[in-house]
Structure 1
Amino acid sequence: MAALVNYSGSSSDEESDEELTRQSGKRRASDGTTQGPLQKFVKKNDTAENGQCKKSSLPLPGAIRGMFGAPDTDSDSRDKGDNPEQHGGRVRSFPHVAGNWASYVFIPVPPDERLKSFVDQILVCLRPLNFERMDNLHISLSRTVSIRHHWIQPLTESLKEQFQKQYSCICDIGPLKMYTNDEKTRTFISLEVNVDDTNLVEYTSAVDSCFKQFNLPAFYQNPSFHISLVWSVGDVMGQIPDKTKSKLHVLAGEFLSTHTDLSVIPVDKVYLKTGNKMFAFHLCNSHD
């Protein structure tokens, strides 16, 4: 059974996983539920969200309230959830809908003070442009998608079944890359991720097959795996001077050559983050 891990979510579930494109152009997009321990988590969350006892009457539908000049509180809530000012200027790739959970599959990058210092150097180098550090560094294996609460258990079961067939691997951290997301609403400075074989592609194919059961979008056809380090609102590629870009590449090269232990990431688990929950899926340890 997939393990449920405690996770302290941020104010926006979209922050950690944006749909990214290369600097030279956009990347193109390319069973039933089982009862078990996961069921109690679903029920527990249902209670937390919907099980609070309230003495007030059930609210009237927005259309009826509108007939008498009363505000549509549901619409107000959705508008607030989509307000970029509440998310550091970020624009959602899909609208906030009550009851839907922003979700994505990823490989976490272990936290390290040396990596944190490297990101600090990048932020200084990018001044006076306003870039922010990414929280919870990771390698994305899926797009960020919106799922219904009752999909969580069958989706985790499907992912668990798929990743039991996948093998662990070691990722090599490569040169620095710059990206924008599909909507050109954010710019990212990242480190490219390379593998000797096709493991990461096989991981994304496994995720795609699970997402397809719920009519969720697949990952990119020709993905460029990477670790996003910092981000800025909007497409600011043209505002980064060539001299600064060259300095960033030098910084990245020096960092990876100096800290060789940080230039590789062993991968033995893959994670699903959905809302404020996180599930871990173990991979096979060898090709035996």
Structure 2
Amino acid sequence: MALVDYSSSSSASTESLHQQPPAKRHKVGDSETSTPGRLSSPAVKVDGQDGKPSKRSAMPPLPSTFHDLYASTVRQSVVDDPSLHHGRKRQTPHIVGNWPSHLYIEWNPTSPEYDMLVNLVQDVETELQGKVKLHNFLTSDLGSPLPLHISLSRPLSLTTASKDDFLERAAGAIQTGAVGPFAVSPRTLAWYKSPDSDRIFLIIRVASRDLLGKGAGALNPELVALLRRCNGVASQFGQPPLYKHHEDGGSGDEAVGVAFHISIGWTFDVPGEEMSLRAIKVFKRSKYAEVRKWEIDVSAVKAKIGNSVHHIPLGRAGKGGIAGRPEAPDYF
């Protein structure tokens, strides 16, 4: 195969540049011309005779699986090192060859919602008066907004031999569980001490949109139904269930229903009772009344296994999210 003959002479390159035809001047309108040596502005497309710029069609929305492509952070160490994570330790110690896994519902707040949550955390920090170091889950180290979630499992650890079977069973259980798309809304702000973590979380408890404000009964029948399915699959693989302590210490679904939440911050420090109550009451201010009206749509469950995130759509259903025909899960 013959090699391409590239000239090594810089003078040849210079000569070829001088042989290029001079750049043409582009008119913008009837009176303005571009100045030699400067980039000219692109012509503006106009409609009709009024000279007004035409409106471009809005970009189509990104698919719900788009964020799954960028759900994992860069690995900084092959061993557990709390110094890389603000002192945090794994709830489930990593075992070489096992796959850290999690079942959850993802929520990507809109820009106005994100800004409101940032203000909420800042107001809570003000009430803490600098006595408690509060880290937030809203922003990455690079300043980018992060997705939030509602957990449907504890941190899991799957073997290589079992991870594919787990995903298949989880998808089957979720899609045959008679739960279709539904919505939840923020209900209250609270502090939550995880039973298997040293951290205290600042959380927003959620309630089913259809049952919000109706008083008695389970606040989240759809989430409770999904949790039972996810816990059932986890137990088949020897994994601990989520919110088992709520079932043991409460009255069934009603006790479990109040446990679902979205974590927006965390701390190692224990705020005093008075300070803690002041911080929680921030959510009741009139400026956050709109937050309690938000609707967080739930149409799928995410299964994160290692660095891969799998999208499992819920079955189709009418209002209320009960009953439906399942769709095919998106494993990739």
TM-score, normalised relative to structure 2? 0.59
SS at match of 1:139: strand
Alpha-carbon distance between aligned partners in 1 of 2:188 and 2:291, rounded to the nearest angstrom: 14
Name 1:114's counterpart in structure 2.
116
Name 1:160's counterpart in structure 2.
171
Q: What percentage of residue pairs aligned between the two structures are identical?
A: 24
Residue 128 in structure 1 maps to residue 163 in structure 2: no
Q: Which runs of 5+ in 2 are unaligned?
A: 1-64, 139-146, 212-219, 247-255, 318-322, 325-332
Q: Which one-letter code corresponds to 1:232 in the other structure?
A: T
The answer to whether the Cα contact below 8 Å between 1:138 and 1:228 also exists between their aligned partners in 2 is yes
The counterpart of 1:268, out of the listed 294, 299, 303, is 299
What are the equivalent positions in structure 2 for 1:74-223 lying under 5 Å apart?
A: 81-111=79-109, 112-126=114-128, 127-135=130-138, 136-165=147-176, 166-195=179-208, 196=211, 197-221=220-244, 222=246, 223=256
Residues 184 and 271 of structure 1: CA distance in aligned 2, closer, same or farther (over 3 Å): closer
Alpha-carbon distance between aligned partners in 1 of 2:242 and 2:262, rounded to the nearest angstrom: 16
Alpha-carbon distance between aligned partners in 1 of 2:106 and 2:196, rounded to the nearest angstrom: 25
Alpha-carbon distance between aligned partners in 1 of 2:204 and 2:117, rounded to the nearest angstrom: 12
Larger radius of gyration: 2
What are the equivalent positions in structure 2 for 1:14-93 lying under 5 Å apart?
A: 81-93=79-91
Alpha-carbon deviation of 1:192? Answer: 0.9
Name 2:142's counterpart in structure 1.
none
The answer to whether the Cα contact below 8 Å between 1:123 and 1:131 also exists between their aligned partners in 2 is yes
Alpha-carbon distance between aligned partners in 2 of 1:163 and 1:265, rounded to the nearest angstrom: 19
Alpha-carbon deviation of 1:9? Answer: 1.9
Alpha-carbon distance between aligned partners in 2 of 1:175 and 1:88, rounded to the nearest angstrom: 27
Residues 10 and 88 of structure 1: CA distance in aligned 2, closer, same or farther (over 3 Å): farther
In the comparison of the two structures, how many residue pairs are matched? 216
SS at match of 2:162: helix
Q: Which runs of 5+ in 1 are unaligned?
A: 14-76
Question: Which structure dedicates a bigger proportion of its chain to helix?
Answer: 1
Name 2:72's counterpart in structure 1.
9
Name 2:289's counterpart in structure 1.
257
Name 1:230's counterpart in structure 2.
265
Alpha-carbon deviation of 1:6? Answer: 0.9
The answer to whether the Cα contact below 8 Å between 2:103 and 2:230 also exists between their aligned partners in 1 is yes
The answer to whether the Cα contact below 8 Å between 1:176 and 1:252 also exists between their aligned partners in 2 is yes
After superposition, give the CA deviation of every residue in 1:230-288 in whole Å (9 maximum; x if it has no partner). 1012xx33x3351x3333233212354134543x3121111111221111111123146
The answer to whether the Cα contact below 8 Å between 1:131 and 1:230 also exists between their aligned partners in 2 is yes
Alpha-carbon distance between aligned partners in 1 of 2:235 and 2:166, rounded to the nearest angstrom: 10
After superposition, give the CA deviation of every residue in 1:161-217 in whole Å (9 maximum; x if it has no partner). 112122222212111111112245111111111223511111011111211221111
